[in-house]
Every structure is written in C-alpha cells, then in structure tokens.
Chain A
C-alpha cells in the first residue's frame, strides 16, 4: 500500500512532467553526446562553417540570420542541400516548428541523397515526438533506410527507443536498443532506456541489471552524474513498487544528497524502510528531508510520512506534534502559494524577469533558464521551471524579449546608416571632379607608347652592353667633369709639353675615369634587373588600368543610383522595423499574460494538493490524539504522554 502511495505519487508526478522529461532527455542526448561523437564537418564554404560556429554555441538567432544571408548571397553553394537541412535543424531548435517542417517536407520531395532524406526523417520524427504525435513520429522513423550520417545515428537510435517506449511498445524499444553496439557516449543512455523498458515490460531483474550498469558509472560530468542518480532512483523505486523495499535502499542511498533527485531519493528511502517495517530507519532520511525547503513537493510529502512513522512506532506524542507541524506547514505554504499566485497576477513575475534581464539587445538571448536565480518575488519559481508548459512559455517569453530589444536596437541605430550614406555622398561630390579630371587626362595609348619606348631602350642597352647608359646622374656628372678636366689638361699639355706634372694629372684622371666606369659596370647588372622589374611593374599596372578605369567610370555612373538604392533600402527596412515593433510589443504582452496564466495554474494546482495534505494531516492528527488517549488510559506503551496532550483547536470535534 505504501508502495502504491509512492508509486501513485510518482505516476502523478510523471504524468505531469512526462513531456518535460521527454524533451529534456532528448535535449540531454543531443547536447551532451553529439559534441563527442559528431565528426567535425568538412567545410567547403567558410560562411557555412561560420554559421555552425554560432549554432554549436546554441546562438540560434545569429546562426539563422547568417545562414539566410549566406544562402541569399550564394555563399553556401558547396553545401547544397545540407545548408537547407541545417536551416531546418536550427529552425527546429529555435522553436520554428512550422518552418522546419516545411523545409524537411520540401527536401523529402526533392531528388536528394538517402543520407539527407534520412536526416530529414529524423528531424521530422523529432518534431512530431516533441509535440506528442507519437504515431506520426514512429512513421517517419520507419521511413529511415539505408545510410545514416554518423552524427545523427546515435540520436536516431535513442529517439526510436524513446518513441516506442512512449507508445508503450516496450518490446519494440528493447528490440531497437538491445543489439546496438552503442558508442561510449551513447551507451549509458541506451542502457538506461533498456533498463526502463525492461522494468516496464515486467522483466524486473533484467531491467535492474541494465540500470545497475548506469548506476555504477564513474561520471565525470554533471550530466552523467545526474543520469547515474536517475538510474539508481529508477532501480530503487522499481524495487519498492515490486515489494522488494529492503533491496531498494542500497540503490536509493547511492543518489547524491545534493543532486537533482536527492529529495525523491530520501523520500524513497523513508518509504522503503517504513514498508519493510523499519520505522526507526525511516526517521533519518525523513528528518533530513524535513529540514529542506518546504517548497518542494517531496519535502511536503515527507513531513506527512515522518508523522506517520512516529505514529507507527507508537510515539503518539511526536506523531501529534508532527501532524500539527505538517498541517501548519501545508496551511502556510498554501497561503504562500495563494499570495504568490496573486503577486504573479499583479505582474511580479514578469517584472522580476525583466529586472534580471536588463541590458543590451543580446541580453534577451543569452540568459539561459537554468541560470536564472530564485526570484524572491515569486515563491516556487524553481518548482515552476520543472513544469514543461511553464518552461516552454518562459522560453518564448525570453525569445520575444530578445526580439523586442533587437527591434528597438535597430530602430535607434538604423539612422546611423543614413548618416553614413550622407557622408559618403558628400565625399563623392567632393572628389568626383578630381577623379573625372584624372580620368579625362588619362591617355592609355600615350602611356603604352612611352612604356614601349622604355622597353626598347633597355633592350638596346642590353644588346649593346651600353652600361654607361644606366649610370646614375651623379656618376654621369662626375664622368662629365673628368672629361672636362681632360680637355683642359690637353690644352695645358699643348702649352707646356715638357711639364711632367701635367702628364701625371692626366694619368690620375684616366685612373679616375677607369674607377668610375668600373663602378658603373659593377652596378650594371643590378640596375638592368631593377629597370626591367620597373618596366614589368608598369606593364602590370598598364594592363589593369583599362579595367580599373572602366570600373571607376562604372562606379561613377552607378554611384548616384546606388546611393539612392541604399537609401531606399534603409528607409524600407526602417519602415518594416516600425511595423514590427508594435506587433512584438503586443505578442510579448500576450505571452507575459500567458506565462502568468501558466504559473498561476500550476500554483493553484499545487495549492489544492496542499489543501488535501492539510486535510489529511488534520484527520490523522485526530486519530493520533485518539490513539494517544487510548494508549494512556490502557497504560500501554506511551512515550512522552505529556507531548500527546492535544492543544485545543477549533476544528477538534470533541
């Protein structure tokens, strides 16, 4: 019976969070495992790789914008049709189910490779599964045949198992996962799912064996540690459900005390011990649970279980106290919930969220739901986050907030482009006459003939070995000076033929000339090479000058048109921004109300459960008083009889 209660509670909890679980486990798979197994893509277009860079960081908005732009500018032509498949995949991640479905449908109708089709089927199956259309999802998975890309193979296998399990086809789920030699990063998930499928099928021991493998894993990451906790919890709860409470404890005790499932595990240990009539042992986990935040439903249930354990042990005084405390807590928490719901209706939730997401336009996107702190304005906020409907509503709220900020950002900044355009126009007007003057003065024929003459001259020099022609101006000046001095010496020689000094001077001059010519000759080869290089450079420039000239002329003729076109585009985009702003505001407001509605709905639901708990605690309190009184009057075992003395309460019937 006790187990029934626990499992009933578990079923209720499961029913509430089934979709959340399915989505989160899927996300868990895709996030945690694809990073390891997926082979790096071979990038054939840099812009495609740039989109992946943002996509892998879960920055879906930027990746879609860049991919749309790259496709429009034909920059992903080497990745057709993968680029379209990628777009569908990112759309899916960004919550654009309709657009993603349209893309995949279109791809499937086209003549594409089998691997592409299989990937499209996989994505479609995922979309339909996430939206709860299990038969359709299974249909898409059935269509997968032939080769599958390695990057999605593991996820495809897991999804297949998941869909079968959701359909209650545990044998099919087992068949699909059993013989799969899963890679290391998928193995634990596969074993976990196999464990669950077997236990659901009634193969308890086989199921526990699979779960045991996961429960023992040496986890290095938080994701893996959480999976290990889940496996141990599943083993423990399954054993309780199957009247093997004593065995279950060792599994439940392996669940971390500070993990996501610690409350549930403590409650499980408490129930298991009680079920095995070890009420004293049940006290320890239940008392630990009692000290935890009363916001959690496991803690709330644990308080009642603790009171009950006291009652069973005959500690009626403590039982009375515990029931009273439980009833008070339930009442207080129900009031707190009611207050919180009221606050949410007054806008406290939305205000608190907006307050924590102040900042630039990017702030709307990058805050993740798990990073959000507890909101003191809204009690039970973390509890609410566990609810799929609330989680989805909050994601849309976040996305809309980002869109609003994005539109405001562009609205404020698009004017800059107009200013930039004006500056460019002014600059154009300023330099246009000068450029036109230069263009008009450009005589390509003349330049070409000059260049030809230069080429001819250098060839002549080379043929004649006329190295003197390549002397520098200074060298030429010095040679001329030497020549002039020689002429003067010749005249002097005529006047004084016997003068030895004149002969010596002449010899010196000849030596100097020789040195000069030697120097010029030495530098000749380098100079000739440099000249040829220069001529070649001129040739190069001359060859592209017509194109450049044409391109400048074209730019001049098109500039005014282009300026007008830019201006028209900017104005049209600004108009579109202005059109979208009020729509975004309206949708955001509606989504805020919807978020509040979902939150209030969940809180009210919880409030009613608490009211039920309270009612029951009060009922049991009466029974405990009764038992305490009977036990005292019969002189039977009654510990702390003074504690059992009931306080006078209005509702007490006698």
Chain B
C-alpha cells in the first residue's frame, strides 16, 4: 500500500511538475517575447549612465580641485599583521581636514590591496605640514595610536600623498609612512 502510494506520489509529482513546466513554457513563450531585448536595453543604459558619471566625475574634479592646487591624501595597508586599523585623522597646517572611521568591510578592502582616498582639497604652492594620526589595535590587541608627519612642498601640479601602514617584521611593530607621489 505504502509503496504503491510512493509510486503514485512520484508519478503525481512528476506529472504535475512536468505538466506545469509544459504549460508554463507554452504560456510564457509569447509573454517572454514581450521582454525580449530588455536585457540588451539594461546593458546599454548601464553603460551610458556609467559614461555619463565618468564625465561628471572628471568635471567635478576639474572644477572643484584644479590640478594646480589639488592635494589628495590616500590610506593603504600593507600586510597589517601588527595593526588593526580603526580610524585615521589628518591635519594639514594644523587644521583637521579628515577624520575617518573604517568599517570591517573597508579594512578588508585595504588589506586586499585597495587604497582609500581619505581627503581631497586645494593648497597653494609652497610648504605645508601634514600630520596623520592612526588609531587601532597594535600587537597583542592593545590600543594603539601613532602619528606620522611630513613637510610637503606643493609645486604647480597636483600632489598625491599616501599614508602607508606597513609591518616592521623584525620588531613586531607596525610602521607608518607618509609617501609623496607626483
């Protein structure tokens, strides 16, 4: 009886599912045609909006931060075994210009080789002082705060600065470097 039922159930399931599939397939052949080309339209639209945003991004940067005065500060993490980053604060000429608290997701992106633009602004040519404070957890999970500074000479072109967190393996300590890029 039971086996009979199972055979029956199997047949029922198969019959119904198969028949549903056939019905739905027949039913939707015409309906699905209505949506043919939609995927194409979506891809084209995505590409056009991306290109538009690219142009707007460039326009915004050229308008707000012309290359003659542009200064951008980036944060990167190399290895990161001895330091878990929580936040970074930047001061330029004793004025706080950026204060950033990192999420777990962002820290993971940094550890995988991503570089975060923490600040972009304008500075006249000449000498300026950048001080960066790094807050997080150091070796053995202890609270850790460290600063790094650099006098930068801003020329006529854009100035890029990288705040680099690296591991000093021999000393089992993190290291914080300010690197200038042209």
**Residues on A facing B (Cβ under 8 Å):** 1-2, 4-5, 8-9, 12, 35, 38, 40-43, 46, 48-50, 52-57, 61, 64-66, 68-69, 72-73, 94-99, 274, 304, 308, 311-312, 396, 399-400, 403, 406-407, 410, 414, 417, 420-421, 547, 551, 566, 569-570, 573, 576-577, 580, 583-584, 587, 590-591, 593-594, 597, 601, 604-605, 608-609, 611-613, 615-616, 620, 623
- CB interface residues, B 108-135, toward A, < 8 Å: 108-117
One of B3, B14, B59 near A8 (C-beta < 8 A): B14
- Chain A CB within 8 A of B55 CB: yes
- Beyond A50-B116, A407-B49, A551-B156, whether A608 also contacts B20 by CB under 8 A is yes
Closest to B108 in A: A35
One of B47, B55, B60, B112 near A52 (C-beta < 8 A): B112
Q: How far is the CA of A566 from the CA of B60 in the complex (A)?
A: 10
> Are B13 and A12 closer than 8 Å at their CB atoms?
yes
> Are A8 and B10 closer than 8 Å at their CB atoms?
yes
Q: How far is the CA of A98 from the CA of B47 in the complex (A)?
A: 10
Rounded to whole Å, the gap between the CB of B2 and the closest CB of chain A is 5
One of B17, B35, B39, B49 near A597 (C-beta < 8 A): B35
> Are A609 and B16 closer than 8 Å at their CB atoms?
yes
Query: Max chain B CB contacts within 10 Å: which of A1, A72, A566, A584?
Result: A1
> Are A406 and B49 closer than 8 Å at their CB atoms?
yes
B residues near A57, Cβ cutoff 8 Å:
105-106, 109, 114
> Are B51 and A94 closer than 8 Å at their CB atoms?
no
> Are A50 and B115 closer than 8 Å at their CB atoms?
yes
> Are A40 and B111 closer than 8 Å at their CB atoms?
yes
Rounded to whole Å, the gap between the CB of A86 and the closest CB of chain B is 11
Number of interface residues of B (CB under 8 A): 69
A-contact bits for B44-61, CB 8 A (1 contact / 0 none): 011111111111111111
A-contact bits for B74-96, CB 8 A (1 contact / 0 none): 10101100000000000000000
B residues near A403, Cβ cutoff 8 Å:
45-46, 49
Rounded to whole Å, the gap between the CB of B136 and the closest CB of chain A is 18
The 4 closest A-B pairs by CB, nearest first: A49-B115, A53-B114, A41-B113, A612-B16
- Beyond A12-B13, A95-B46, A573-B59, whether A4 also contacts B6 by CB under 8 A is yes
Q: Give the A-B pair count, Cβ closer than 8 A.
A: 199
> Are B2 and A308 closer than 8 Å at their CB atoms?
yes
Q: How far is the CA of A576 from the CA of B21 in the complex (A)?
A: 44
B residues near A594, Cβ cutoff 8 Å:
35, 38
- Beyond A1-B3, A1-B7, A569-B59, whether A9 also contacts B13 by CB under 8 A is yes
Q: How far is the CA of A591 from the CA of B42 in the complex (A)?
A: 9
Can you give 9 contacting A-B residue pairs, CB < 8 Å? A4-B6, A40-B79, A43-B115, A55-B114, A56-B113, A66-B57, A95-B46, A396-B39, A591-B42
- CB interface residues, B 13-44, toward A, < 8 Å: 13-17, 19-21, 23-24, 28, 31, 35, 38-39, 41-43
Q: How far is the CA of A64 from the CA of B16 in the complex (A)?
A: 46
- Chain A CB within 8 A of B98 CB: no
One of A53, A97, A99, A311 near B115 (C-beta < 8 A): A53
> Are B6 and A590 closer than 8 Å at their CB atoms?
no
Rounded to whole Å, the gap between the CB of A94 and the closest CB of chain B is 7
- Beyond A49-B74, A594-B38, whether A616 also contacts B57 by CB under 8 A is no
- Beyond A57-B105, A421-B63, A590-B35, whether A608 also contacts B16 by CB under 8 A is yes
**Residues on B facing A (Cβ under 8 Å):** 1-3, 5-10, 12-17, 19-21, 23-24, 28, 31, 35, 38-39, 41-43, 45-63, 68, 72, 74, 76, 78-79, 105-106, 108-117, 156, 160, 162, 181
- Beyond A5-B6, A591-B38, A605-B24, whether A40 also contacts B78 by CB under 8 A is yes
B residues near A46, Cβ cutoff 8 Å:
72, 74, 115, 160, 162, 181
Closest to A570 in B: B59
B residues near A615, Cβ cutoff 8 Å:
12
Q: How far is the CA of A547 from the CA of B57 in the complex (A)?
A: 30
One of A69, A94, A604 near B24 (C-beta < 8 A): A604
Query: Max chain B CB contacts within 10 Å: which of A38, A69, A72, A570?
Result: A69
> Are A590 and B38 closer than 8 Å at their CB atoms?
yes
B residues near A583, Cβ cutoff 8 Å:
45, 48
> Are A4 and B35 closer than 8 Å at their CB atoms?
no
> Are A587 and B50 closer than 8 Å at their CB atoms?
no
Q: How far is the CA of A77 from the CA of B148 in the complex (A)?
A: 29
> Are A308 and B76 closer than 8 Å at their CB atoms?
no
> Are A69 and B42 closer than 8 Å at their CB atoms?
no
Q: How far is the CA of A593 from the CA of B53 in the complex (A)?
A: 27
Q: How far is the CA of A41 from the CA of B78 in the complex (A)?
A: 9
One of B8, B55, B74 near A50 (C-beta < 8 A): B74
One of A50, A99, A577 near B117 (C-beta < 8 A): A50
> Are A612 and B50 closer than 8 Å at their CB atoms?
no
Rounded to whole Å, the gap between the CB of A349 and the closest CB of chain B is 16
> Are B9 and A616 closer than 8 Å at their CB atoms?
yes
Rounded to whole Å, the gap between the CB of B89 and the closest CB of chain A is 19
Q: How far is the CA of A609 from the CA of B9 in the complex (A)?
A: 12
Q: How far is the CA of A249 from the CA of B72 in the complex (A)?
A: 61
Q: How far is the CA of A42 from the CA of B114 in the complex (A)?
A: 10
Q: How far is the CA of A305 from the CA of B52 in the complex (A)?
A: 58
> Are A566 and B117 closer than 8 Å at their CB atoms?
no
Q: How far is the CA of A551 from the CA of B66 in the complex (A)?
A: 14
> Are B112 and A94 closer than 8 Å at their CB atoms?
no
> Are B5 and A620 closer than 8 Å at their CB atoms?
yes
Q: How far is the CA of A620 from the CA of B1 in the complex (A)?
A: 11
Q: How far is the CA of A302 from the CA of B20 in the complex (A)?
A: 21
Closest to A64 in B: B50
One of B1, B49, B110, B111 near A580 (C-beta < 8 A): B49
Closest to B40 in A: A98
A residues near B61, Cβ cutoff 8 Å:
69
Query: Max chain B CB contacts within 10 Å: which of A73, A417, A573, A612?
Result: A612
Q: How far is the CA of A420 from the CA of B5 in the complex (A)?
A: 78
Closest to A43 in B: B115
> Are A52 and B114 closer than 8 Å at their CB atoms?
yes
B residues near A64, Cβ cutoff 8 Å:
50
One of A55, A399, A410, A417 near B42 (C-beta < 8 A): A399
Closest to A576 in B: B52
10 more contacts with CB within 8 A, not counting A311-B1, A570-B59, A591-B42, are A5-B13, A42-B113, A46-B115, A46-B160, A49-B115, A94-B46, A583-B45, A608-B16, A616-B12, A623-B1
Q: How far is the CA of A477 from the CA of B46 in the complex (A)?
A: 79
Q: How far is the CA of A56 from the CA of B15 in the complex (A)?
A: 46
Rounded to whole Å, the gap between the CB of A247 and the closest CB of chain B is 20
Closest to A619 in B: B8
Q: How far is the CA of A406 from the CA of B117 in the complex (A)?
A: 22
Q: How far is the CA of A570 from the CA of B63 in the complex (A)?
A: 11
> Are B42 and A396 closer than 8 Å at their CB atoms?
yes
> Are B35 and A56 closer than 8 Å at their CB atoms?
no
> Are A49 and B114 closer than 8 Å at their CB atoms?
yes
Q: How far is the CA of A573 from the CA of B48 in the complex (A)?
A: 12
Closest to B21 in A: A605
Rounded to whole Å, the gap between the CB of A181 and the closest CB of chain B is 24
> Are A400 and B16 closer than 8 Å at their CB atoms?
no
Closest to B38 in A: A590
